[in-house]
Structure 1
Amino acid sequence: MHNVSKESLQYFYLSNNFLSGLEDSPTIIPWQNLDEFNLNNNMMHGSLPIPPQSLRFYFVSNNSFTGRISPFICNMSSLEVLDLSYNNLSGMIHPCIGNLSQSLSMLQLQSNNFSNTIPKTWANGCSLKMIDLSQNQLHGHLPRSLANCIELEYLHVSRNQINDTDPFWLGTLQYLKILDLHSNGFHGAIKSLETNYTFSNLCINDLYHNHLSGNLSAGYFTQWDAMKSVGAKNLQYMGDWVYYSIIITIKGVELEYKKIQDGLRVIDFSCNRFEGDIPEILGNLEGLHALNLSNNAFTGHIPSSFANLTQLESLDLSQNKLSGEIPPELVQLNFLSNFTVSHNCLTGPIPQGHQFGTFPNTSFEDNRGLCGKPLSKICGDSDISTPPPSAFGENQGPKLFFEFGWKVVVMGYGCGFVFGVVIGHIVTTRTQDWLIKTFGKKQHQTRISRVNRGVNRRK
């Protein structure tokens, strides 16, 4: 095959087979005018084949290639798509990748063993639409030069060891639709965005399992226009040469979307350290399909504005410190199939009707003040195990009366016991004397009478 059509061969497809290797390693691909090279979904091992400079599309995902990325890749000035995902490649991501970004539109390096840092320099005029570096061992900061990739739609760096503050500056990317930073070391407070940082086209924002903290400012969500739109104009999937994909955690279960419908809207801020009130403005994001704020330290009430989220299918507010009642308006959410508020401080009746009739006990557990179906506690039942209000002075009158009443009972019981013992002793003693005098005398007379009768008989 190496000797056939060295100059004329343009497309080489051997994907979806059981091929295990190449004759020479490392292999230099001999076809000088090759446009696309595709070995996806095989069993290839060894080093990556070294492509010619003419190549525009390089696909070798889902194999077992090992080693590092060859520096020869830096000469590929025409490269548009580089997909090395799902292999066993290691070492650092060559810094020249950032310089190739003027021609590259898709970079897929996920699910390898790349270490070190993300290339710091991404060229001005960067044409990348998709960057997926997820599931590696990358650390350090997220390079701010990524803001040069003004056409970027998809940024996925989850499951690495990135240690950085909130990358609010990504809000300048007007085409950014999917931002997935979950399972890293992002920390600190999320800043209230200025007019230049809008995230106006953001459809999916996944910050799950980081160390972000502080209050969520209402200003952060003000210009999230794409999440305010209901439905998609055209039913199509996100992506260009390759469909965008993502894994979303709902109710502790990871759901993989191999294709993302253009209308999908998701926010996952779970497993962080956010606190304070949940912003009412989230109720303006009427296109949301899933909202996960669980495992934080949110306080205050569940916003009644959530009733505006008519497209919502999953709402997880569990493992927080929320108080008050569940807004009865949430019954209007006809598409809600997953609702979880467990492990909070909620009180009052659980709303009834529509989708709320389908949620299990576990959706509401560990809220000692909640009552009504599906819980066994009936609204109106007293619960003496419920702790008293923590606020000083609240319901102080009844509480003091209750405590005073018990003191009186205890004192009365004590006094009554002593008085009863004394009186009982006196009564018992006197009764004993009276019994001896009365019944003892009668018994003595009875004996005398019996003796006299016996004497008379003998006579």
Structure 2
Amino acid sequence: MSLALVLNSIAAVPPMFVTSPTCRTLSSSRLAGFIDGKALSKLQYLEILDLSDNQIHGVIPPTLNNLPKLQKIWLSNNQISDAIPSNPSNLSGLQVPDLSDNQISGIIPPALNNLSSLESMDLSINLLTGEIPAELGNLSKLEDLVLHENLLEGTLTPALAKLENLSILTVASNYLTGKLPNDVVDGNNFFGQIPKYITKWKQLQQLSLLGNEFENPPLGFFNMPELRYLDLSFNKLTGGIPKSMENLKLDYLILTSNMLSGNVNLSWIKKMELA
């Protein structure tokens, strides 16, 4: 089925005759073709658009910026290419854009920091290049930032430390280097001590640092009340497992392939198994 034909059919119906003009769910509908920007711009009342798991190709049309009420858009698992629109200034109400698992190239636009309502952004499994812009640190409502499996380079900007509501950050399988300023970063080339300010993120639930060259974590690292998943495997941790780690209420703990020594408190391990 042609996506352009579907969008034009929807756009041709006056809003007062549509049962739900604010939500369009066309996921897994075997839609093919490109996103008709002209037809899309006519959906002025649209709040939610789900086009995930189809066969859509081409680009993300700039006319997407003409949907001021848009809150959530899913375009994942398609064949969309080219770049992310560089100036989405009219989408101030956008909360969730999911562009994952496409062929999107170019950089992450710094102007995304204008999307002040963003709560979750998934750009993973694409061909994005360049650095992670420091401007993303201004997205004060952001809880999930998912960037794994791209071609991103440079260091993780310390500006992301300002994201106090951050629950999930994944940047695995990129080409990032240097000292770590954030959390889910396995499969890069980070080194040095795990930074202390991670302990300020009381909302953090998933922390994976596997496959880097990190040294022992700082004092206070194991006092994060919402942390449930901790993977520190394949690093350079030494000494014993600190007693402060027993403060954590973990569901998963992975410490393999380090240089740890000493005894393990089996009663604490049993408590985790019973949780």
Name the TM-score, length of structure 1 as normaliser.
0.53
Q: Which residue of 1 aligns with 2:242?
A: 327
Q: Which residue of 2 aligns with 1:115?
A: 81
Q: 1:164 to 1:349 in 2, by over 3 A?
A: same
Alignment of 1:264-413 (within 5 A): 267-299=183-215, 301-333=216-248, 335-346=249-260, 348-357=261-270
The alignment-based identity, stated in percent, is 30
Contact in 2 for aligned 1:302/1:327 (Cα 8 Å): no
How far does residue 287 in structure 1 lie from its aligned partner after superposition?
A: 4.3
Contact in 1 for aligned 2:167/2:203 (Cα 8 Å): no
Alignment counterpart, residue 43 of structure 2, candidates 76, 99, 111: 76
Q: Which residue of 2 aligns with 1:177?
A: 143
Q: Which residue of 1 aligns with 2:14?
A: 32
Please give the per-residue CA displacement for 1:29-61, whole angstroms capped at 9, x wherever unaligned: 453234456xxxxxxxxxxxxxxxxx4322211
Q: Which residue of 1 aligns with 2:168?
A: 204
Aligned-partner SS, 2:214: strand
Tell me the amino acid that sits aligned with residue 259 of structure 2: C
Higher helix share: 1
Alignment counterpart, residue 155 of structure 2, candidates 174, 180, 189: 189
Question: Aligned partners of 2:235, 2:98: CA distance in 1, in Å?
Answer: 32
Question: Aligned partners of 1:307, 1:73: CA distance in 2, in Å?
Answer: 48
Q: 1:121 to 1:311 in 2, by over 3 A?
A: closer
Please give the per-residue CA displacement for 1:415-458, whole angstroms capped at 9, x wherever unaligned: xxxxxxxxxxxxxxxxxxxxxxxxxxxxxxxxxxxxxxxxxxxx
Contact in 2 for aligned 1:292/1:315 (Cα 8 Å): yes
Question: Aligned partners of 2:195, 2:245: CA distance in 1, in Å?
Answer: 16
Contact in 2 for aligned 1:56/1:78 (Cα 8 Å): yes
Alignment of 1:210-249 (within 5 A): 210-217=174-181
Contact in 1 for aligned 2:106/2:127 (Cα 8 Å): yes
Aligned-partner SS, 1:146: helix
Q: With CA pairs under 8 Å and 6+ residues apart, which has the higher RCO, 1 or 2?
A: 2
Q: 1:158 to 1:324 in 2, by over 3 A?
A: same
How far does residue 107 in structure 1 lie from its aligned partner after superposition?
A: 1.6
2:8 aligned with 1:93, yes or no? no
Question: Aligned partners of 1:207, 1:134: CA distance in 2, in Å?
Answer: 13
Contact in 1 for aligned 2:167/2:206 (Cα 8 Å): no
**Higher mean displacement: 140-149 or 275-284:** 275-284
How far does residue 310 in structure 1 lie from its aligned partner after superposition?
A: 4.1
Question: Aligned partners of 1:269, 1:86: CA distance in 2, in Å?
Answer: 27
Question: Aligned partners of 2:114, 2:219: CA distance in 1, in Å?
Answer: 40
Contact in 2 for aligned 1:135/1:159 (Cα 8 Å): yes
Contact in 1 for aligned 2:166/2:204 (Cα 8 Å): no
How far does residue 171 in structure 1 lie from its aligned partner after superposition?
A: 1.3
Aligned-partner SS, 1:308: coil
Alignment counterpart, residue 65 of structure 1, candidates 31, 56, 66: 31
How far does residue 185 in structure 1 lie from its aligned partner after superposition?
A: 1.6
Please give the per-residue CA displacement for 1:194-242, whole angstroms capped at 9, x wherever unaligned: 9xx721222222222222211125xx7xxxxxxxxxxxxxxxxxxxxxx
Question: Aligned partners of 1:143, 1:35: CA distance in 2, in Å?
Answer: 35
How far does residue 190 in structure 1 lie from its aligned partner after superposition?
A: 2.1
- Runs of 5+ in structure 1 lacking a partner? 1-20, 38-54, 221-266, 361-459
Work out the number of aligned pairs and report it: 267
Aligned-partner SS, 1:96: helix
Tell me the amino acid that sits aligned with residue 199 of structure 2: G
Q: 1:171 to 1:101 in 2, by over 3 A?
A: farther
How far does residue 147 in structure 1 lie from its aligned partner after superposition?
A: 1.5
Tell me the amino acid that sits aligned with residue 255 of structure 2: V
How far does residue 312 in structure 1 lie from its aligned partner after superposition?
A: 3.0
Q: 1:295 to 1:359 in 2, by over 3 A?
A: farther
Q: Which residue of 2 aligns with 1:45?
A: none
How far does residue 358 in structure 1 lie from its aligned partner after superposition?
A: 7.8
Question: Aligned partners of 1:172, 1:35: CA distance in 2, in Å?
Answer: 38
Question: Aligned partners of 1:123, 1:36: CA distance in 2, in Å?
Answer: 29
What is the alpha-carbon root mean square deviation over aligned residues?
Answer: 2.7
